[in-house]
């Protein structure tokens, strides 16, 4: 089952890469979300299919990464809130990259500016039966179309967003 999800995720990533070029006539394939999702507590504009959701602070899937952020070493630190549903008790690993460019990777900081830029954000297992929240910073260098790659013990998902100046 996990193998089929990996194959599906690879296929989805290839589809996104072919359809999300940085050209003006090919927009980044983001979807708008409602401001409040009753199934996801405390996160406005919660993107994702679950059990992990990300609050990007915008309903149109566009991150204005230079607005209200701090900059250090060429990276803009965009505040990002992650929420993990109580039904999921396993670990989570998150990476990110620009779509259509293998060189443009996102970085993460788990707290405190400037923090050490990390290529992966991790959440440990938790069987408390409560929502888990992970405040972090997504580090972005340039405008573009990006995808978060989310991997749990028994699920994978891709969450697309566009970063603009």
Mean pLDDT of the chain: 81
Tell me the residue range of the domain where 118 lies: 2-164
pLDDT of residue 34: 61
CATH number for the domain that contains residue 96: 2.60.40.2550
pLDDT digits (tens, 9 = 90+) for 69-124: 899 999 999 999 999 999 999 999 999 999 987 668 899 998 778 888 999 999 99
- For residue 97, which of 49, 44, 159 has the smallest C-alpha distance? 159
Torsions phi, psi of 90, nearest 5?
-85, -175
Q: Does residue 148 have a pLDDT over 80?
A: yes
Quote the pTM value. 0.80
- Say if residue 30's pLDDT is above 50: yes
Number of domains in the chain: 1
Residue 35's SS3 state is coil
């Amino acid at each position: 089952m996990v193998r089929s999800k990996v194959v599906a995720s690879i296929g989805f990533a290839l589809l996104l890469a072919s359809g999300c070029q940085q050209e003006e006539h090919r927009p980044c394939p983001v979807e708008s979300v409602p401001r409040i999702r009753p199934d996801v507590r405390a996160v406005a504009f919660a993107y994702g299919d679950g059990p992990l959701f990300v609050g990007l602070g915008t309903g149109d899937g566009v991150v204005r990464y230079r607005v209200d952020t701090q900059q250090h070493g060429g990276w803009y630190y965009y505040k990002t809130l992650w929420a993990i549903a109580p039904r999921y008790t396993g670990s989570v690993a998150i990476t990110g990259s620009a779509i259509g460019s293998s060189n443009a990777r996102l970085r993460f900081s788990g707290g405190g500016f400037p923090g050490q830029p990390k290529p992966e954000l991790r959440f440990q297992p938790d069987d408390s039966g409560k929502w888990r929240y992970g405040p972090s910073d997504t580090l972005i260098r340039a405008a573009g179309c990006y995808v978060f790659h989310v991997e749990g013990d028994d699920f994978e998902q891709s969450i697309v967003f566009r970063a603009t100046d």
